[in-house]
Structure 1
Amino acid sequence: MERDFYKSPKPSKTMRFFWKAAGGDSYILERSTYSDQVKYMCLGGIIVATGLMAALAGGYAFYTIFEPRGSAIEKDTVSWTTSLLAIVFGVFWGLMIFNLDRFIVSSTGTGDGTEAITWDELKGAIPRLLMGAIIALTISKPVEIRMFKSEIDAELHTAQMKKQQEYISEIEAIYSDRINDEKNKIEKWENEIQAKTNRAVELENQYIEEARNITVGPRARAVKEQWDRAKNEEEIIKQKNQPLIEDSYSNIKGFEKNKQKDIKNAEVVSSGLDGLLERIKLAHKIAGFWISLFITLLFLAIELTPIFFKLMLIKSPYDFLKQNTQELIKAEQGIYIQYNYHKDKNGQERDLIKHLESEKLLLEKKELLKVQEELTQYAISKYKENMMKKIDDNPESFIKSES
């Protein structure tokens, strides 16, 4: 039937989509006022926008975590594999946040139907507010590090260079000690060889002096024996120390090679600073407490505003139509509710809920069982009468006598 006093505007497909996002009933909204339609469209728009921001923030955070590491200011290439995975994760994250927001807003209700937010209303909304605050924080931090990306990259590059120099200094110190130990061993072994060589040369010169005489005397022969022993000891110490010296030189070469390898890895180690946590710390440091707090509060306001607004909304035709539809559905299904019927042991008023359809079915079952019981009793009594009649006519057939 057409109204002669008001005609509800015909909604567009976009408006219907936002209604669904806000958890609004399109059937009822089509029969409500234009203000109700706009109200739920705006709520749905906020939820959709939050989902889109969550998708972008989640995808960026994923890419930041799993992107190839390197210098913060020298990244010229994009990892397409990581980008593809980040897009997939961003879509998944955005849809999940969208559904969470949709559930939070649609389940909030309209409070007591007045603009004032009472303590009872606020207390009942605390779980939803906490979930909304957590969602807002997960969105705000990736956006914050993207806003200050240039400044963060510069700070990260400085920190990476400092870390790289510290790592190289540690490597130099470690390998310097190892190399010096080997050099000290070589010096010790070479000194032992040199001492034996010097002794052999000294005895050789002494023998030459003694052998200048035409006849080699006992003194010269004694010196010759000492010289021979010295040369023998020199040869023995050379055979003993030379392999050790060669091993030490080989160790030094190995240390030098490993040192150069570790120095090359210093850039890889310093690149480990380029992570999500480090960027969040630098964002707080660069932006300062108040700017960081302002960005967080901005996303908190976007996320929590629909919840507060729903608590502040005055009941409109949509709410009454929705309530009426719910009552009609309950009546159609035989559900009867008598509100504030009694108080429980804590003094809280409770409703009396009757499911008339189920009670009707139970009553029918109960009466049917009662009739079946009566019919069974009647059948048993008739059976008894027939058997008694047969006994009266021929009692011998029911008695077996022993012959």
Structure 2
Amino acid sequence: MKRDYYELPKSSSIMRFLWKCAGGDRYLLERATYSDQIKYMCLGGIVFATGAMAGIAGGYAFYTIFEPRGSAIENPIHTNTLFGALLFGLIWGLMIFNIDRFIVTSTGKGDGTEAITWDEFKGAIPRILMGAIIAITISKPVEIRMFKTEIDIKLREKQLEQQSAYQAKVDSTYNEREILLEKDFGGLASERQVLVDRIKEAEQAYTDNLMGKANGVVAGNGPLSKALKAQLNNLENQLEKFDIQNKSRLDELNIRKDKLRIEKDKERDNNEKIANGLDGLLERIKIAHEVAGGWITLFITLLFMAIELTPVFFKLMLIKSPYDYLAENRDDLIKAEKGIEVKYDFYKDKEGIERHLVINHEAHRLMYEKVKLTEIQKELTDYAVNKYKEQEMRKIDENLENYIKPIQNEE
């Protein structure tokens, strides 16, 4: 807008976009001062930047939650999860952006001075709480991304510890089952070993007799050798019979042994998978607190809270400028055009707080017209009823027989 004493520079498309982000009125800003334009551009820049950071943080948190689990060190990018994270980050950023726009737009100027009074601060508490919650949700994903290298190393150590602990638990569990199974094998083996030992002794005695090594025995296949051979054959038959009788039980034990070995190998294979599952968002946040320490974590959170709450406090601290007076004039013109009158501090409520009296003249006019039309309609209705009454009375005077007929008794 050109003036003889002051000329505003032409606003750029970026400046107008940031005005929208801050909830500024372009029509009024183009007729205000350059400082007003800059103030609202800066406010809009903060709101836009907060929404952008929220989108990045939300997308990273989404990717961290839904990415395939694996080693914290060797962790390639998963394309499908990345596309989902980009979509979620865009939606999340737009949502936070609109919430911030609402917070900034709904925050008034207070009393128009730099000082923030208690009443102004008390009125802004809900907006401050919402801003603080948003700042915390943004800061945590950014925090774990800032310390990603340190977190990955620490997380990998925890994964290896978890893997070692799980391996020890698996070995302990299956060792107990293997010991019980070996006892069952041991019972059969000991019985069979007794027969095997007896067979070996019989074979040795038979051989010694054949070769004449036994004391007082002549070498050759005599009656004693034949008796020892018969005993050996009997023992071998007992061993064969034992093997046949216990074959099904031995096969069952071998099946159980193979099944137990397969289960144990399967649990060992799951060991790394279970340990790699220790890679969620919550675990990374906990490690970030351990790695960074309480003070650094607090500082990062306060930094994002400062960025998020800056527009709220700045609006409370802003001194009234031409833009604010133009906005008040616009509001008054709209109210006057629509017949709305506001009498400020007109009365006190029950608690002694001064309240404004709002008079809607247009509504009162319409109500007055409706009331008068209703009253006229009532009068016309009464008049019509009276005229109808007079008409009916004349009909009665002229022809009474049509209204009252004599009662004839029927015999």
Answer whether TM exceeds 0.5 for this pair.
yes
User: Which of 158-167 and 58-67 deviates more?
Assistant: 158-167
Counterpart secondary structure, 2:356: strand
What RMSD over aligned residues (CA atoms) do the two structures have, in Å? 2.9
Cross-structure match for 1:183: 182
Any residues of structure 2 matched to 1:82-231 within 5 Å, and which? 82-195=81-194
Shift of 1:289: 1.8
Deviation, structure 1 residue 202: 7.3
1:16-35 alignment runs, 5 A limit: 16-35=16-35
Q: Please tell me the residue identity of whatever aligns with 2:29.
A: L
- Structure 2 unaligned residues grouped into runs of 5+: 210-220
Do the aligned residues in 2 keep the contact of 1:183 with 1:248 (CA within 8 Å)?
A: no
Shift of 1:292: 1.6
- Write the distance in 2 (CA, Å) between the matches of 1:213 and 1:384: 157
Would the alpha carbon gap of residues 204 and 147 (structure 1) be closer, same or farther in structure 2, given more than 3 Å must change?
closer
The residue number in structure 1 matching 2:376 is 371
Matched residue, 1:7? 7
Find the counterpart in structure 2 of residue 61 from structure 1. 61
Question: For the Cα contact (< 8 Å) 1:190–1:241, is it kept in 2?
Answer: no
Cα distance between partner residues in 1 of 2:118 and 2:285? 36
Question: Displacement of 1:22 after TM fit?
Answer: 0.4
1:37-76 matches, cutoff 5 A: 37-75=37-75
- Does the residue aligned with 2:4 lie in a helix, a strand or coil? coil
Q: 1:328 aligns with which of 327, 330, 333?
A: 333
Match of 2:250 among 245, 254, 258: 245
The separation in 1 between residues aligned to 2:341 and 2:12, in whole angstroms, is 37
| Residues 2, 8 of structure 2: 8 Å contact kept | no
**Contact 1:182–1:249, Cα closer than 8 Å, also in 2:** no
Q: Which amino acid aligns with 1:126?
A: I
- Hey, what's the Cα distance between the residues in 2 that align with 1:166 and 1:380? 101
**Secondary structure of the equivalent of 2:246?**
helix
C-alpha displacement of 1:240 = 4.5
CA contact 2:196–2:239 (8 Å) conserved in 1:
yes
Measure, in 1, the Cα distance between the counterparts of 2:8 and 2:400.
90
- Per-residue deviation at 1:329? 1.0
Q: SS state of the match for residue 340, structure 1?
A: strand
> What CA distance in whole angstroms lies between the structure 2 residues aligned with 1:3 and 1:202?
128
Matches within 5 A, 1:247-326: 247-326=252-331
- Rounded to whole Å, the distance in 2 between the matches of 1:206 and 1:80 is 79
Is 2:406 the counterpart of 1:382? no
Matched position secondary structure for 2:406: coil
Please tell me whether the aligned partners of residues 55 and 94 of structure 1 are also in contact (alpha carbons under 8 angstroms).
Answer: yes
Tell whether the 8 Å contact from 1:192 to 1:237 is kept in structure 2 after alignment: no
Task: Give the match for residue 362 of structure 2.
Answer: 357
> Aligned letter for 2:81?
T
Q: Secondary structure at the match of 2:347?
A: strand
Query: What is the match of residue 215 of structure 2?
Result: none
Percent identical pairs in the alignment equals 55
How many corresponding residue pairs? 396
Deviation at residue 102 of structure 1 after TM alignment: 0.6
Pick from 392, 397, 403 the counterpart of residue 402 of structure 2: 397
Residue 93 of structure 1 aligns with an amino acid whose one-letter code is W
Measure the CA separation in 1 of the matches of 2:259 and 2:393.
Answer: 117
AA aligned to 1:399 is I
The structure-2 alpha-carbon separation of the partners of 1:362 and 1:64, relative to structure 1 and needing over 3 Å to count, comes to same
The one-letter amino acid of 1:81's match is N
**Conserved in 2, the CA contact under 8 Å of 1:111 and 1:311?**
yes
- SS of the aligned residue for 1:4 comes to coil
